Structure 1
Amino acid sequence: MNTSNAVIPGTATNSGWSFNWGGISSPNDLATLGKSILSSLLLSPDLTHRWLKSHSFTSNPLLSVGAPWEIYRLQISTSNAPRIVDLYTKSGDISDYHSNLVLVPDWDVGFVVLEAVGEAADVKRNLISDMIAEIFLLIVEVAAKEEAVVNFAGRYTGVSSSVVIGTEEGVLGLGVNLGLSFKPRSCS
Protein backbone atom coordinates (compact mmCIF):
# COMPACT_ATOMS: atom_id res chain seq x y z
CA MET A 1 0.00 0.00 0.00
CA ASN A 2 1.44 3.34 -1.08
CA THR A 3 1.33 5.84 1.80
CA SER A 4 3.55 8.55 0.27
CA ASN A 5 0.61 10.97 -0.16
CA ALA A 6 -1.42 9.73 2.81
CA VAL A 7 -2.30 11.62 5.98
CA ILE A 8 -1.70 9.09 8.71
CA PRO A 9 -1.90 10.18 12.35
CA GLY A 10 0.42 7.76 14.14
CA THR A 11 0.95 4.39 12.47
CA ALA A 12 -1.04 2.98 9.56
CA THR A 13 -2.37 0.21 11.80
CA ASN A 14 -3.21 2.31 14.89
CA SER A 15 -4.91 5.06 12.88
CA GLY A 16 -7.01 2.63 10.87
CA TRP A 17 -5.34 3.55 7.55
CA SER A 18 -4.35 -0.01 6.73
CA PHE A 19 -7.82 -1.49 7.30
CA ASN A 20 -10.09 -2.32 4.37
CA TRP A 21 -13.20 -0.26 5.16
CA GLY A 22 -14.92 -0.86 1.83
CA GLY A 23 -16.42 2.19 0.12
CA ILE A 24 -15.24 5.47 1.60
CA SER A 25 -16.71 8.81 0.53
CA SER A 26 -14.45 11.46 -0.94
CA PRO A 27 -14.83 15.22 -0.35
CA ASN A 28 -16.34 15.41 -3.84
CA ASP A 29 -18.91 12.73 -2.95
CA LEU A 30 -19.96 14.62 0.17
CA ALA A 31 -20.06 17.97 -1.66
CA THR A 32 -22.26 16.41 -4.37
CA LEU A 33 -24.58 15.05 -1.68
CA GLY A 34 -24.76 18.46 0.00
CA LYS A 35 -25.56 20.24 -3.28
CA SER A 36 -28.22 17.64 -4.04
CA ILE A 37 -29.88 18.19 -0.67
CA LEU A 38 -29.83 22.00 -0.95
CA SER A 39 -31.17 21.81 -4.52
CA SER A 40 -33.93 19.32 -3.56
CA LEU A 41 -32.66 16.80 -6.10
CA LEU A 42 -33.04 13.84 -3.72
CA LEU A 43 -36.37 14.78 -2.13
CA SER A 44 -39.18 17.14 -3.13
CA PRO A 45 -38.71 20.76 -2.02
CA ASP A 46 -41.46 20.35 0.63
CA LEU A 47 -39.90 17.18 2.01
CA THR A 48 -36.40 18.72 1.95
CA HIS A 49 -37.73 21.74 3.84
CA ARG A 50 -39.28 19.47 6.49
CA TRP A 51 -36.11 17.39 6.66
CA LEU A 52 -34.05 20.50 7.41
CA LYS A 53 -35.86 21.27 10.67
CA SER A 54 -35.06 20.70 14.32
CA HIS A 55 -36.85 17.80 15.97
CA SER A 56 -35.61 18.34 19.51
CA PHE A 57 -33.55 20.82 21.46
CA THR A 58 -30.80 19.99 23.92
CA SER A 59 -29.89 21.68 27.20
CA ASN A 60 -27.53 23.84 25.12
CA PRO A 61 -29.56 26.62 23.44
CA LEU A 62 -27.11 26.61 20.52
CA LEU A 63 -27.59 22.92 19.70
CA SER A 64 -30.60 20.99 18.46
CA VAL A 65 -31.13 17.66 16.78
CA GLY A 66 -32.87 16.82 13.52
CA ALA A 67 -33.23 13.63 11.57
CA PRO A 68 -30.35 12.98 10.80
CA TRP A 69 -28.80 16.36 11.63
CA GLU A 70 -26.86 17.88 14.48
CA ILE A 71 -27.88 21.55 14.19
CA TYR A 72 -25.49 24.14 15.57
CA ARG A 73 -26.53 27.76 15.92
CA LEU A 74 -23.65 30.11 15.16
CA GLN A 75 -23.78 33.79 16.05
CA ILE A 76 -22.15 35.98 13.42
CA SER A 77 -21.60 39.72 13.68
CA THR A 78 -21.03 41.74 10.53
CA SER A 79 -22.59 44.83 12.05
CA ASN A 80 -24.06 46.11 15.30
CA ALA A 81 -26.85 43.56 14.93
CA PRO A 82 -25.55 40.01 15.45
CA ARG A 83 -27.52 37.22 13.87
CA ILE A 84 -27.93 33.48 14.40
CA VAL A 85 -27.28 31.08 11.51
CA ASP A 86 -28.21 27.39 11.68
CA LEU A 87 -25.57 24.91 10.51
CA TYR A 88 -26.95 21.49 9.60
CA THR A 89 -24.12 19.04 10.17
CA LYS A 90 -23.62 15.33 9.70
CA SER A 91 -20.37 13.94 10.95
CA GLY A 92 -18.81 10.51 10.88
CA ASP A 93 -15.76 8.82 12.31
CA ILE A 94 -13.70 5.80 11.37
CA SER A 95 -10.84 5.25 13.76
CA ASP A 96 -8.66 8.42 13.63
CA TYR A 97 -10.48 9.88 10.60
CA HIS A 98 -13.38 12.29 10.83
CA SER A 99 -15.70 13.79 8.23
CA ASN A 100 -18.10 16.67 8.60
CA LEU A 101 -20.70 17.78 6.05
CA VAL A 102 -22.04 21.25 6.90
CA LEU A 103 -25.06 22.78 5.11
CA VAL A 104 -26.34 26.33 5.55
CA PRO A 105 -29.82 26.43 3.98
CA ASP A 106 -30.19 30.17 4.74
CA TRP A 107 -27.68 30.89 1.97
CA ASP A 108 -27.80 27.65 0.00
CA VAL A 109 -24.13 26.92 0.73
CA GLY A 110 -22.13 24.29 2.54
CA PHE A 111 -18.70 22.79 2.99
CA VAL A 112 -16.99 19.49 3.74
CA VAL A 113 -14.10 18.86 6.12
CA LEU A 114 -12.10 15.65 6.33
CA GLU A 115 -9.65 15.36 9.21
CA ALA A 116 -7.01 12.92 10.38
CA VAL A 117 -6.96 13.75 14.09
CA GLY A 118 -5.06 11.05 15.98
CA GLU A 119 -4.83 11.56 19.74
CA ALA A 120 -7.07 14.14 21.45
CA ALA A 121 -9.68 13.64 18.73
CA ASP A 122 -12.51 14.97 20.90
CA VAL A 123 -10.69 18.27 21.34
CA LYS A 124 -9.61 18.78 17.72
CA ARG A 125 -12.39 17.05 15.82
CA ASN A 126 -14.56 20.07 14.98
CA LEU A 127 -11.89 22.76 15.23
CA ILE A 128 -11.46 23.19 11.46
CA SER A 129 -15.22 23.12 10.80
CA ASP A 130 -15.76 25.78 13.48
CA MET A 131 -13.01 27.99 12.04
CA ILE A 132 -14.33 27.66 8.48
CA ALA A 133 -17.89 28.41 9.60
CA GLU A 134 -16.92 31.52 11.54
CA ILE A 135 -14.79 32.98 8.74
CA PHE A 136 -16.73 31.72 5.72
CA LEU A 137 -20.17 32.74 6.99
CA LEU A 138 -19.04 36.28 7.77
CA ILE A 139 -17.91 36.58 4.15
CA VAL A 140 -21.16 35.04 2.86
CA GLU A 141 -23.23 37.45 4.99
CA VAL A 142 -21.40 40.47 3.53
CA ALA A 143 -21.65 39.09 -0.03
CA ALA A 144 -25.39 38.40 0.40
CA LYS A 145 -25.98 41.98 1.55
CA GLU A 146 -24.00 43.36 -1.40
CA GLU A 147 -25.93 41.15 -3.84
CA ALA A 148 -29.26 42.19 -2.32
CA VAL A 149 -28.35 45.86 -2.79
CA VAL A 150 -27.51 45.31 -6.47
CA ASN A 151 -30.67 43.28 -7.12
CA PHE A 152 -33.29 45.02 -4.97
CA ALA A 153 -32.22 48.42 -3.60
CA GLY A 154 -33.83 51.50 -5.07
CA ARG A 155 -36.96 53.64 -5.10
CA TYR A 156 -40.17 51.91 -6.07
CA THR A 157 -43.00 54.27 -6.96
CA GLY A 158 -46.70 53.59 -7.32
CA VAL A 159 -49.58 55.91 -8.22
CA SER A 160 -49.88 57.51 -4.77
CA SER A 161 -46.96 56.15 -2.78
CA SER A 162 -43.33 55.21 -2.95
CA VAL A 163 -40.97 53.05 -1.01
CA VAL A 164 -37.18 53.21 -0.75
CA ILE A 165 -35.31 49.95 -0.17
CA GLY A 166 -31.66 50.12 0.80
CA THR A 167 -29.07 49.47 3.46
CA GLU A 168 -27.80 51.36 6.42
CA GLU A 169 -24.36 51.05 7.99
CA GLY A 170 -24.44 48.77 11.03
CA VAL A 171 -27.79 47.19 10.15
CA LEU A 172 -28.24 43.73 8.68
CA GLY A 173 -29.85 43.26 5.29
CA LEU A 174 -32.15 45.57 3.41
CA GLY A 175 -34.39 48.14 5.06
CA VAL A 176 -37.60 49.80 3.93
CA ASN A 177 -38.27 53.53 4.14
CA LEU A 178 -41.89 54.38 3.42
CA GLY A 179 -42.33 57.76 1.82
CA LEU A 180 -46.09 57.92 1.61
CA SER A 181 -47.76 60.81 -0.12
CA PHE A 182 -51.53 60.84 -0.23
CA LYS A 183 -53.69 62.70 -2.71
CA PRO A 184 -56.60 64.46 -1.04
CA ARG A 185 -60.00 62.93 -1.76
CA SER A 186 -62.83 65.11 -2.90
CA CYS A 187 -65.95 64.86 -0.79
CA SER A 188 -69.32 64.95 -2.52
Structure 2
Amino acid sequence: MTTIAVTGHIDLTEDSIPLVRGALDELLKQYAGNGELVGVSCIAMGADTVFAEAVLAAGGRLIVVIPSRDYRQNIVEPDHAALFDRLVASAEEVLVLSHETAGRQAYEAANAVLVERADRLVAVWNGEPPTGRGGGTADTVLEAQAAGLVVDVVWPEGAARLRRRWWA
Protein backbone atom coordinates (compact mmCIF):
# COMPACT_ATOMS: atom_id res chain seq x y z
CA MET A 1 0.00 0.00 0.00
CA THR A 2 1.20 3.51 -0.84
CA THR A 3 -0.23 6.49 1.03
CA ILE A 4 0.21 9.79 -0.76
CA ALA A 5 -0.79 13.10 0.80
CA VAL A 6 -1.30 16.34 -1.06
CA THR A 7 -0.53 19.95 -0.45
CA GLY A 8 -1.09 22.66 -2.99
CA HIS A 9 -2.39 26.01 -4.02
CA ILE A 10 -6.10 26.70 -3.56
CA ASP A 11 -6.10 29.57 -6.04
CA LEU A 12 -5.48 27.77 -9.32
CA THR A 13 -6.80 29.52 -12.39
CA GLU A 14 -9.67 27.83 -14.19
CA ASP A 15 -7.36 26.95 -17.10
CA SER A 16 -4.83 25.38 -14.71
CA ILE A 17 -7.21 22.82 -13.25
CA PRO A 18 -7.24 20.44 -16.27
CA LEU A 19 -3.45 20.82 -16.60
CA VAL A 20 -2.94 19.88 -12.96
CA ARG A 21 -5.47 17.05 -13.20
CA GLY A 22 -3.65 15.60 -16.21
CA ALA A 23 -0.31 15.75 -14.41
CA LEU A 24 -1.81 14.12 -11.31
CA ASP A 25 -3.47 11.39 -13.39
CA GLU A 26 -0.09 10.66 -14.99
CA LEU A 27 1.69 10.59 -11.62
CA LEU A 28 -0.93 8.30 -10.04
CA LYS A 29 -1.10 5.98 -13.06
CA GLN A 30 1.54 3.71 -11.55
CA TYR A 31 -0.77 3.06 -8.58
CA ALA A 32 -4.05 2.79 -10.50
CA GLY A 33 -6.12 -0.34 -10.29
CA ASN A 34 -4.03 -2.30 -7.82
CA GLY A 35 -6.08 -1.26 -4.79
CA GLU A 36 -2.95 -0.15 -3.01
CA LEU A 37 -3.33 3.64 -3.40
CA VAL A 38 -4.50 5.74 -0.47
CA GLY A 39 -4.76 9.52 -0.90
CA VAL A 40 -4.84 11.90 2.05
CA SER A 41 -6.29 15.35 1.45
CA CYS A 42 -7.86 18.27 3.28
CA ILE A 43 -10.10 18.66 0.18
CA ALA A 44 -9.82 22.44 0.11
CA MET A 45 -10.72 23.90 -3.25
CA GLY A 46 -7.99 23.85 -5.85
CA ALA A 47 -5.15 21.35 -5.65
CA ASP A 48 -6.51 19.31 -2.73
CA THR A 49 -9.81 18.64 -4.48
CA VAL A 50 -8.25 17.93 -7.87
CA PHE A 51 -5.92 15.41 -6.19
CA ALA A 52 -8.78 13.73 -4.30
CA GLU A 53 -10.76 13.30 -7.51
CA ALA A 54 -7.68 11.88 -9.28
CA VAL A 55 -7.11 9.37 -6.46
CA LEU A 56 -10.70 8.15 -6.66
CA ALA A 57 -10.54 7.98 -10.47
CA ALA A 58 -7.38 5.84 -10.16
CA GLY A 59 -9.29 3.38 -7.96
CA GLY A 60 -7.64 4.58 -4.77
CA ARG A 61 -9.10 5.11 -1.34
CA LEU A 62 -9.47 8.60 0.12
CA ILE A 63 -8.77 9.82 3.64
CA VAL A 64 -10.04 13.32 4.36
CA VAL A 65 -8.49 15.55 7.03
CA ILE A 66 -10.71 18.45 8.06
CA PRO A 67 -8.71 21.11 9.94
CA SER A 68 -11.43 22.31 12.32
CA ARG A 69 -14.95 21.67 13.51
CA ASP A 70 -16.25 24.84 11.82
CA TYR A 71 -14.45 24.25 8.52
CA ARG A 72 -17.43 23.08 6.45
CA GLN A 73 -19.74 25.78 7.77
CA ASN A 74 -17.41 28.77 7.81
CA ILE A 75 -14.63 28.12 5.28
CA VAL A 76 -16.03 26.03 2.44
CA GLU A 77 -17.31 28.43 -0.24
CA PRO A 78 -20.85 27.86 -1.54
CA ASP A 79 -19.60 27.01 -5.04
CA HIS A 80 -17.30 24.33 -3.56
CA ALA A 81 -19.76 22.86 -1.04
CA ALA A 82 -21.35 20.16 -3.23
CA LEU A 83 -17.96 18.80 -4.33
CA PHE A 84 -16.64 18.98 -0.77
CA ASP A 85 -19.64 17.02 0.49
CA ARG A 86 -19.34 14.45 -2.30
CA LEU A 87 -15.67 13.87 -1.48
CA VAL A 88 -16.42 13.54 2.24
CA ALA A 89 -19.09 10.96 1.37
CA SER A 90 -16.61 9.09 -0.86
CA ALA A 91 -13.90 8.97 1.79
CA GLU A 92 -12.93 5.77 3.52
CA GLU A 93 -12.06 7.81 6.60
CA VAL A 94 -12.83 11.38 7.67
CA LEU A 95 -10.69 12.85 10.41
CA VAL A 96 -12.01 16.11 11.89
CA LEU A 97 -9.33 17.76 14.01
CA SER A 98 -10.20 19.09 17.46
CA HIS A 99 -9.71 22.78 16.64
CA GLU A 100 -12.97 24.67 17.06
CA THR A 101 -12.17 27.27 14.41
CA ALA A 102 -10.19 27.28 11.20
CA GLY A 103 -7.01 29.29 11.07
CA ARG A 104 -3.25 29.02 11.11
CA GLN A 105 -3.04 26.56 14.02
CA ALA A 106 -5.71 24.29 12.53
CA TYR A 107 -4.07 24.33 9.10
CA GLU A 108 -0.62 23.61 10.55
CA ALA A 109 -2.09 20.71 12.55
CA ALA A 110 -3.82 19.35 9.44
CA ASN A 111 -0.58 19.56 7.47
CA ALA A 112 1.22 17.69 10.26
CA VAL A 113 -1.38 14.91 9.99
CA LEU A 114 -0.85 14.76 6.22
CA VAL A 115 2.90 14.35 6.66
CA GLU A 116 2.49 11.84 9.49
CA ARG A 117 0.09 9.61 7.54
CA ALA A 118 1.92 9.68 4.20
CA ASP A 119 4.63 7.64 2.55
CA ARG A 120 5.16 10.48 0.09
CA LEU A 121 3.78 13.95 -0.64
CA VAL A 122 2.49 15.47 -3.85
CA ALA A 123 2.88 19.24 -3.91
CA VAL A 124 0.90 21.17 -6.50
CA TRP A 125 3.26 24.05 -6.06
CA ASN A 126 4.79 26.82 -8.12
CA GLY A 127 7.97 26.77 -6.05
CA GLU A 128 7.45 30.07 -4.24
CA PRO A 129 9.01 30.18 -0.75
CA PRO A 130 6.94 30.23 2.46
CA THR A 131 5.04 33.43 3.18
CA GLY A 132 5.85 33.40 6.88
CA ARG A 133 2.22 32.94 7.85
CA GLY A 134 2.52 29.17 8.31
CA GLY A 135 0.28 26.38 7.10
CA GLY A 136 0.90 26.98 3.41
CA THR A 137 2.08 24.77 0.59
CA ALA A 138 5.77 25.66 0.87
CA ASP A 139 5.66 25.13 4.65
CA THR A 140 4.21 21.66 4.17
CA VAL A 141 6.83 20.78 1.56
CA LEU A 142 9.59 21.78 3.99
CA GLU A 143 7.95 19.78 6.79
CA ALA A 144 7.66 16.70 4.58
CA GLN A 145 11.27 16.97 3.43
CA ALA A 146 12.41 17.33 7.06
CA ALA A 147 10.47 14.14 7.86
CA GLY A 148 12.28 12.34 5.04
CA LEU A 149 9.30 12.01 2.70
CA VAL A 150 9.74 11.98 -1.06
CA VAL A 151 8.04 15.09 -2.46
CA ASP A 152 6.70 15.02 -6.01
CA VAL A 153 6.22 18.58 -7.25
CA VAL A 154 3.46 18.99 -9.81
CA TRP A 155 3.38 22.31 -11.63
CA PRO A 156 2.69 21.70 -15.32
CA GLU A 157 3.67 24.20 -17.97
CA GLY A 158 0.90 26.78 -18.28
CA ALA A 159 -0.31 26.38 -14.69
CA ALA A 160 -0.96 29.64 -12.86
CA ARG A 161 -2.45 31.08 -9.72
CA LEU A 162 -5.10 33.77 -9.57
CA ARG A 163 -3.56 37.21 -9.26
CA ARG A 164 -5.93 38.44 -6.60
CA ARG A 165 -5.56 36.49 -3.39
CA TRP A 166 -8.86 36.86 -1.58
CA TRP A 167 -7.63 35.37 1.69
CA ALA A 168 -4.70 37.79 2.10
Specify the TM-score bucket, using the shorter chain as the normaliser.
under 0.3
Greater relative contact order, per chain length (Cα 8 Å cut-off, separation 6+): 2
If each structure's strand is expressed as a fraction of its own residues, which one has the higher value? 1
Larger Rg belongs to: 1
Normalising by structure 2, report the TM-score: 0.23
| TM-score between the two structures when normalised by the length of structure 1 | 0.22
Q: Which has the higher helix share?
A: 2
